[in-house]
Amino acid sequence: MIGQRRVRLWTFRSKLWPDWRGLGRDMAGRCVSGRALIAALLILLATVSGSTGPSSREIWGASRIPSQFSEEERVAIKEALKGAIQIPTVSFSHEESNTTALAEFGEYMRKVFPTVFHSSLIRHEVVGTYSHLLTVQGSDPSLQPYMLMAHFDVVPAPEEGWDVPPFSGLERDGFIHGRGTLDNKNSVMAILQALELLLIRNYSPRRSFFIALGHDEEVSGIKGAQKISALLQARGVRLAFLVDEGSFIMEDFLPNLKKPFAMISVAEKGALDLMLQVNMTPGHSSAPPKETSIGILSAAVSRLEQTPMPNMFGSGPLKQTLKLLSREFSFPTNILFGNLWLFQPIVSRLMERNHITNALVRTTTALTIFNAGVKVNVIPPLAQATINFRIHPSQTVREVLELVKNIVADDRVQLHVLRSFEPLPVSPSDATAIGYQLLQQTIQSVFPEVNIVVPGICIANTDSRHYANLTNGIYLFNPVFLQPQGFSSIHGINEKISVRNYENQVKFIFELIQNADTYKEPVPHLHEL
Ligand SMILES: CCCCCCCCCCCCCCCCCC(=O)N[C@@H](Cc1ccccc1)C(=O)O
Ligand SMILES: [Zn+2]
Ligand SMILES: [Zn+2]
């Protein structure tokens, strides 16, 4: 029955497919087709007048600065990133970081971007000893400011397994190698680099914006981002939106989808670090009791690992993500993703099959620390295990704790919450959401090969949560192409970015800053009034 229905649906849709695609594009917004028409006219005009084509200055307005960089600038762009990678700004733990390197990084930024740090338009403040806040003054106070964020601390990188030393910043085969090339010195450097290049070209913004560069994101953001946020709140700042790390232009993440798609995360998971502890009477191992602290704790954590948290597919932004992506798939995935009203149960199961997509549909349970015992012939009194839960946007810390208690179901296992925070509220991605729309438009102009932009969920955590008090528009997006191998290199080995990818990241921010000045609020339709 279902099989017959599936075939019928497919036949119906495949007949309509070409029309739907054409129609979809036209209906994506009159302004898009209008802009295409204007672009076509400009090309025609330029051809007649002997020029090679319309520049972005012509399309976006007379005062627009084209994102074209000289050979000399292109060399300086990549050399600046290499230098940043060579400073080992490692966050080891809450208590320990390489503070010498953090301070050196501040000096390095000032040296490499002199125009930024000497501009009369920019106020620079050091916050929490090592983090940086730049306030870029716009000329039009009626425009609400926004914020670009990044962090320059990195996770440790022992040399084993790396093709090149992780703090060498070496260029090889078109890639710059090293810890922080994707997470997240690329963004720190690209933001400052784009601004430096704009200022050199005498740019002055209409819309004010902030640049917040954190020094402790990899261990909490409490000394950096949290302090910057408090400072801005005390100044009464409200942000139109902010952009941080957390998502990419995805390539080869989904089976049967060869084309890249840009995912702007509009939601970020929460987190719960829970320590499980069992205390029993110690004793001689020659006469062990029936149950030991290690055995009881192992059984409890094993139950947690074997009992995944509920699949939350159907709530949150993922349905919209798949609906939008469905057009990019071939049969039968296009039918499944495009008709979730019917195929939701199947799709939610499919998502569980892969560890990355599984993380999108549920709160994940990761056993990360286990401690017990000191000597082979001593029954230890104490066994401890720490579990890192990443909480799905549709759940709360309290709900997860309740589920954990029910799964453990053993009073001898004590639960201690070490740290927890709720998922971020979902940021808007509709036609009126300025941050989302600006990112989408900029992606479309800088990366014409990327057909589709979708809202998504960030499965990791970022500094952006510390700014939730200042805006409801939190967008996580790095304008960089990422494959699954690149994802594994983040916090892993052989982290690297191609020179081309990095140049495009600079170009993207160069364009985004200018687009923020010229963004026009959409006019509401009559029926919405
Ligand atoms: C249908 C769409 C499928 C495509 C899914 C592809 C998903 C790819 C995900 C890529 C995510 C990359 C995330 C990069 C940002 C990493 C930020 C980070 O590492 N943050 C730390 C922060 C932290 C948390 C807890 C303690 C200390 C630090 C983290 O662990 O989350
Ligand atoms: Zn990061
Ligand atoms: Zn990280």
Contact 247, 456 (CB under 8 A): yes
Residue 20 has pLDDT above 60, yes or no: no
The number of the ligand nearest the C-alpha atom of 220 reads 1
Summarize pLDDT for 404-458 with one digit per residue, the tens. Answer: 999 999 999 999 999 999 999 999 999 999 999 999 999 999 999 999 999 999 9
410 is in an annotated binding site: no
The confidence score (pLDDT) of residue 196 equals 98
244 is in an annotated binding site: yes
The number of the ligand nearest the C-alpha atom of 316 reads 1
Quickly state the pLDDT bin for 526 (edges 50, 70, 90). low
Q: Provide the Cα torsion 217, 460, 480, 118; round to 10°.
A: -20
pTM equals 0.87
Q: Considering 58, 196, 217, 268, which one is annotated as catalytic?
A: 217
What would the mean pLDDT of 244-263 be, rounded to a whole number? 94
Contact 429, 436 (CB under 8 A): yes
Share of the chain above pLDDT 70, in %: 87
What would the mean pLDDT of 250-261 be, rounded to a whole number? 92
Distance in Å, CA 477 to ligand 1 centroid: 11
**Per-residue burial over 250-268, b = 16 or more CB atoms within 10 Å of its CB, e = otherwise:** bbebbeebeebbbbbbbbb
Distance in Å, CA 85 to ligand 2 centroid: 14
Residue 150 has pLDDT above 80, yes or no: yes
- Tell me the pairing of strands 261-268 and 283-284: unpaired
Q: Is the CB of 462 under 6 A from ligand 1?
A: yes
The confidence score (pLDDT) of residue 63 equals 77
What would the mean pLDDT of 360-366 be, rounded to a whole number? 98
Q: Tokens at residue 197, please?
A: 């290049």
User: What one-character DSSP code corresponds to residue 159?
Assistant: S
Annotated active-site residue 217? The verdict is yes
Quickly state the pLDDT bin for 72 (edges 50, 70, 90). very high
Contact 261, 328 (CB under 8 A): yes
The confidence score (pLDDT) of residue 280 equals 97
Q: Whose CA is nearest to atom 14 of ligand 1?
A: 246
251 is in an annotated binding site: no
- Tell me the pairing of strands 261-268 and 452-458: parallel
Contact 434, 334 (CB under 8 A): no
User: What one-character DSSP code corresponds to residue 261?
Assistant: E
Of 41-50, 208-217, 462-471, the poorest mean pLDDT is in: 41-50
> Can you tell me the distance from the alpha carbon of 441 to that of 516, in angstroms, rounded to the nearest whole number?
11
96 dihedral zone (left: phi>0; alpha: psi -120 to 50; beta): beta
Summarize pLDDT for 79-108 with one digit per residue, the tens. Answer: 999 999 999 999 999 999 999 999 999 999
Quickly state the pLDDT bin for 522 (edges 50, 70, 90). confident
Residue 363 has pLDDT above 70, yes or no: yes
Q: 238 in helix, strand or coil?
A: coil
What would the mean pLDDT of 2-21 be, rounded to a whole number? 28
The confidence score (pLDDT) of residue 255 equals 84
Residue 233 has pLDDT above 60, yes or no: yes
Quickly state the pLDDT bin for 256 (edges 50, 70, 90). confident
